[in-house]
Structure 1
Amino acid sequence: MADTKAQSELHQRYNEGSQSLDDPEVQHMIKQADEMMGKPARMLIAQAGLGPPTTTSFNLLDLGCGTGLVASCVLEVVPPSVMSESKVLCTDVNARFVDILMQRAQRDKWINVDAAVGDAQNSGLPEHSFSHVTINFAMHIIPDPAAVLRDALRILKPGGVLAFSVPHIDNGHDGGWIPDLRSALEALPFQTPFPDPMPVALHGKSQWVQPEGIKAELANHGLIDVKVETIEMIHSVANAKSFLASFAMMIKWVIETYWTVEQKQQYGDEFNKLLVEHLQSKHGGKSWDLKSTAILVTARTPE
């Protein structure tokens, strides 16, 4: 079952904040995206055949592009001579992200990168117009991932490459930031709801966050050369305040989604302080690592 409240609250969190590239919060958001999702993004790009030494031009569509992580990673490895003959279109339903991405593209002189607000479930783009479609950590959030897949198949050229990443379903128990937030909530002098496991596939279709389920979905849609790889990720946290800075949006998302109005009114303002105190005690004021699992997927359309 889809967690519609969680989906709605997460969408609202993404829409909050500045759109200016000069804003330190925006700069922090871009840096965090690279630190947390850059490794799988770079591996996904290489798995899709766009890593070095790329010498063939391409048309890439990056769905759910956020602030431009995939585009920036592509530009790291593809020579300017190839980029000058290629095109990258980045789309996202979030106009704030698209605006930030375009500011990055202009400031950093990204070659042949464009962006537009668009729905990955129904892009409206021409058939057979892209050689590659990438979706980095969005297929577990977008309400209808099967619709995304159908539209990607429509717009990919024959022999085109689909590449996407998702968090593994097991992260809902003990992945990433969840164990520390759970222990902090359990240490509070009052009870607050926190699902166990946390929903990883917010649309309720858990096959999209499990390797075998993904393989079955892609096979059912006629994709070939399916490769599904599971990787472990480690994110180092310097201290409790750093944890709060990194995951403030997710913490607010949990509070807004699962706490009652009364709990938010009574305890919401002081929770961050209690969280920092708890994590300082839990980890002895030292740094620690957050571990999680990601799934990398590539496949091709038939020739």
Structure 2
Amino acid sequence: MDWKNAQVAERYKPGEAMTGPFAAHLIDLSGLSTADGSSDLVVLDNACGTGIVTLQLHEHVPAAARARMSVVSADFSPPMVESVAARITENGWAGATAQVVDAQSLSATLPTAHFTHVLTNFAACHLPDPRAGLREAFRVLRPGGTMAFTAWKAVGWYPHTARALALIPGAPALPPFADFVGSMVTATASGEEEKRRWVDPAFFEARVREAGFAEVETVLRENVTRTAGAAEHAKAYAEITKRMLSTVWGDRVDEFGAQFEGALERAVREEVGDGEVVLKWEAYCVIAKKA
């Protein structure tokens, strides 16, 4: 994924149908959905992407608490930040701002011990250096603050994509999911095998504690998405899937990309005929406290 491409937000926004429900789970598990407005909420939407956490905050935090809530939507991608800034203006989200910040070096831009909550939806375990991201989240949180993040256990488009790629002559096979996640991690503390372990809750819970957090809890949540048929499914998922595959394919994604939507539609139709396409998504929601 070219995160500096001007169209990255537009290409990534359809993914909110999959990621949005889990952002809502983070807000709930962090206690924000039941906040009573008795104290200030200073929230970092960390590695915000298109701003789905910021959207869910404004939909799920009670009005009294929203009146005392400020949100920083931060991402290292300038086009993403520009898109979120426009969304903030369009929706009139008072107290929300968007700025370019690298999740691996938050304290270079954001104040230390400032936020009451740091929420990261599907990025914490996918950073080039996840350990650095956890340390930085700890640093910018106030004592007693809450960090919460999501990490995929099962991605709905994975099985159909594997079958679609098998229909394209010469196309690289889809790697095992752990390898796919690991391809995004470049910094390791204990060798190359560590990359594959960022899908293992026991491993990333240990890294959360290592960063200084206490009261670490992991909760598994799931979501189901539905599309009316194979053609609609291919239209909905082909572009975003190709962008994600660029992580492991590099420039070869363009070589096979022109055939992918048709192959995806064919693979899905071979499985479900003309019926509804149901995808299951599972994610770990991790909640931790800074003592």
Superposition TM-score tier, normalisation by shorter sequence: 0.7 to 0.9
Cα contact 2:161–2:174 (8 A) shared by 1 = no
State the partner residue of 2:160. Answer: 180
Residue 94 of structure 1, aligned match among 67, 74, 77:
77
Query: Once the two structures are aligned, what percentage of the paired residues are identical?
Result: 28
Alpha-carbon spacing, 1:37–1:54, altered in 2? closer, same or farther (3 Å): farther
| Aligned-partner Cα distance in 1 for 2:245–2:275 | 25
| Aligned-partner Cα distance in 2 for 1:58–1:46 | 14
User: Match of 1:54, as an amino acid?
Assistant: D
Q: Could you say what secondary structure the match of 2:87 adopts?
A: helix
- Give the CA deviation at 1:136: 0.5
Structure 1 position 244 matched with structure 2 position 234? yes
- Give the CA deviation at 1:260: 7.9
Alpha-carbon spacing, 1:13–1:257, altered in 2? closer, same or farther (3 Å): farther
| Aligned-partner Cα distance in 2 for 1:18–1:221 | 31
| Aligned-partner Cα distance in 1 for 2:34–2:57 | 10
State the partner residue of 1:197. Answer: 176
Residue 42 of structure 1, aligned match among 7, 13, 24:
24
| Aligned-partner Cα distance in 2 for 1:122–1:253 | 24
| Aligned-partner Cα distance in 2 for 1:126–1:165 | 24
Q: Could you say what secondary structure the match of 2:33 adopts?
A: coil
State the partner residue of 1:154. Answer: 139
Cα contact 2:75–2:101 (8 A) shared by 1 = yes
C-alpha RMSD of matched pairs (Å): 2.4
- Give the CA deviation at 1:183: 1.0
| Aligned-partner Cα distance in 2 for 1:139–1:255 | 19
State the partner residue of 2:205. Answer: 215
Alpha-carbon spacing, 1:255–1:89, altered in 2? closer, same or farther (3 Å): closer
| Aligned-partner Cα distance in 2 for 1:297–1:269 | 38
User: Match of 1:104, as an amino acid?
Assistant: R
Gaps of 5+ in 2: 186-193
Alpha-carbon spacing, 1:245–1:60, altered in 2? closer, same or farther (3 Å): same
- Report Cα offsets for 1:233-273 as digits up to 9, x if no partner: 22212222222222212225436843886x965x5433422
Structure 1 position 276 matched with structure 2 position 255? no
| Aligned-partner Cα distance in 1 for 2:202–2:247 | 33
User: Match of 1:211, as an amino acid?
Assistant: P
Q: Could you say what secondary structure the match of 1:133 adopts?
A: strand
- Give the CA deviation at 1:120: 0.6
Alpha-carbon spacing, 1:29–1:127, altered in 2? closer, same or farther (3 Å): closer
User: Match of 2:181, as an amino acid?
Assistant: V
State the partner residue of 2:96. Answer: 113
Superposition TM-score, scaled by structure 2 size: 0.85
Q: Could you say what secondary structure the match of 1:122 adopts?
A: helix
| Aligned-partner Cα distance in 2 for 1:52–1:246 | 34
Superposition TM-score, scaled by structure 1 size: 0.82
Structure 1 position 84 matched with structure 2 position 75? no
Aligned length: 276
Residue 128 of structure 2, aligned match among 130, 143, 146:
143
Gaps of 5+ in 1: 1-9, 20-25
State the partner residue of 1:258. Answer: 249
- Report Cα offsets for 1:212-237 as digits up to 9, x if no partner: 11221122223111111112222212
